[in-house]
Amino acid sequence: MAFVTEKDEFGARRRALQDQAAANVAAGLGTMAREQQAGEREARARALAEEQAEQQALQQRQSFATQLAAEGIAPEEAGVDVGERATGLGLLAERKREERAATQEQKRIDRETRQAERKANIELKKTQKALKQKELDNFEKKIAAKKKTEKPKESQFKAATFSNRIEQAELDFGALEGVGYNRADKTSAAETFLPEALKSDEAKRQEQAERNFVTAVLRRESGAAISDQEFDTAEKQYFPRVGDTPNVLEQKRRNRAIVLENMKREAGAAFQPLSQTLAAAGVAPTPQVVSQPAQLQPQQVEQARSRLDELRAKAAQGAPAQPRFR
């Protein structure tokens, strides 16, 4: 009975050992399987990485060859094998850097050259301008010295006389304006058609100043007898008349100023101001007008209107109107 019990116990232990051994074998086989699977995965990963690296290298070689072709450089001229990717790309990059540096240097040189040329041109223009101004100054000095030593011509003396007459007329115009006389006023204009005995002193002085101005200008321009038409044109060109606007009056004033200035220039060394001419002649300056313009009486206005109607009737019949200036 005891023997049977020990036998059973031994069998149980043996089965337990067998089961343990079987479990150990199974565990070892599982570990080996897992290690094998891990190794296979690692091998596949390495193979995939190598394949990707090879493809990337191939793409880089192709890109390098394309860049060399775009630059017009053959691989043998570059001194590298297309397969030597790193060296070739580095050489190309170095060449590009050198080209960029050379381009930038050339741009800097060109910029500095242009700046130097502009500066030189400015200095040259300044020098030329200074030389021209110096030549002009010397020329003007020679002309001035020549005028001082050269005796004025007869035409210059005539121009000087005409200049003084125009100056005198302008002084008379200013004096009349100073006391309020306005030749462009309708009343003043109507007064010009009155007989001389009925005209105011201001109207007579205005006509005399206008006559002095016109004869000086026209005698100088034509040198011959002055026609009535020339007188009429000069009146409209230089003197205030009824209907003139402020702008027109200013134009006429400028016309008279231009004529006077040009006459002075033509006179040259023969010209001297009116005050000196009067002083040399022992004549006092022109007295200023102190009276106010005369107001026309109704009878005078009627006479002026009658005279105007008479002139209009003659003009309508084709008869020449009597000129104001003789």
Per-residue pLDDT tens over the stretch 56-112: 777 777 777 777 677 766 655 555 555 555 555 566 677 778 888 888 899 999 999
**Residues 304 and 296: beta-carbon distance below 8 Å:** yes
Is residue 241 one of the residues assigned to a domain? Answer: yes
Beta-carbon contacts of 240 under 8 Å, excluding residues fewer than 6 positions away, are 182, 183, 184, 249, 252
CA distances to 95, 179, 203, 302, 303 from 196, rounded to whole Å, are 106, 21, 10, 15, 12
Distance CA 95, CA 88 (A): 11
Q: Which of 51, 83, 115 is the last residue of a domain?
A: 83
Do 29 and 162 fall into the same domain?
Answer: no
pLDDT at 321: 47
pLDDT at 291: 47
Distance CA 112, CA 106 (A): 10
Q: Report which of residues 48 and 18 the model is more confident about.
A: 48
Is residue 105 one of the residues assigned to a domain? Answer: no
Q: Is the pLDDT reported for residue 292 higher than 80?
A: no
- Average pLDDT estimate for 2-23: 68
pLDDT digits (tens, 9 = 90+) for 194-237: 888 888 899 999 999 999 999 998 887 665 677 888 888 998 99
pLDDT at 132: 87
* Res. 164 pLDDT band, cuts 50 70 90: very high
pLDDT at 305: 67
Q: Which of 58, 83, 108 is the last residue of a domain?
A: 83
- Average pLDDT estimate for 147-156: 79
Compute the C-alpha angle 309/310/312, nearest 5°.
65
Do 161 and 77 fall into the same domain?
Answer: no
Distance CA 239, CA 192 (A): 14
Distance CA 199, CA 191 (A): 6
**Domain, as residue range, for 232:** 154-316
Do 31 and 180 fall into the same domain?
Answer: no
Distance CA 77, CA 70 (A): 14
- Average pLDDT estimate for 2-14: 64
Do 159 and 306 fall into the same domain?
Answer: yes
pLDDT at 240: 94
Number of domains in the chain: 2
H/E stretch holding 118 reads helix 85-149
Is residue 326 one of the residues assigned to a domain? Answer: no
- Average pLDDT estimate for 149-154: 80
Give the mean pLDDT of the chain: 78
- Average pLDDT estimate for 145-162: 82
Q: Report which of residues 278 and 311 the model is more confident about.
A: 278
Is residue 133 one of the residues assigned to a domain? Answer: no
**Residues 285 and 275: beta-carbon distance below 8 Å:** yes
- Average pLDDT estimate for 24-45: 74
**Residues 209 and 172: beta-carbon distance below 8 Å:** yes
**Residues 252 and 238: beta-carbon distance below 8 Å:** yes
Q: Report which of residues 311 and 126 the model is more confident about.
A: 126
Is residue 102 one of the residues assigned to a domain? Answer: no
Say how many residues make up the chain: 326
Of 9-23, 53-67, 251-265, 285-299, which gets the smallest average pLDDT?
A: 285-299
Q: Which of 26, 59, 83 is the last residue of a domain?
A: 83
Distance CA 73, CA 65 (A): 9
pLDDT digits (tens, 9 = 90+) for 237-249: 999 999 999 999 9
Q: Is the pLDDT reported for residue 300 higher than 70?
A: no
pTM: 0.46
pLDDT at 196: 85
Do 173 and 290 fall into the same domain?
Answer: yes
Structure token pair of residue 291: 């009276």
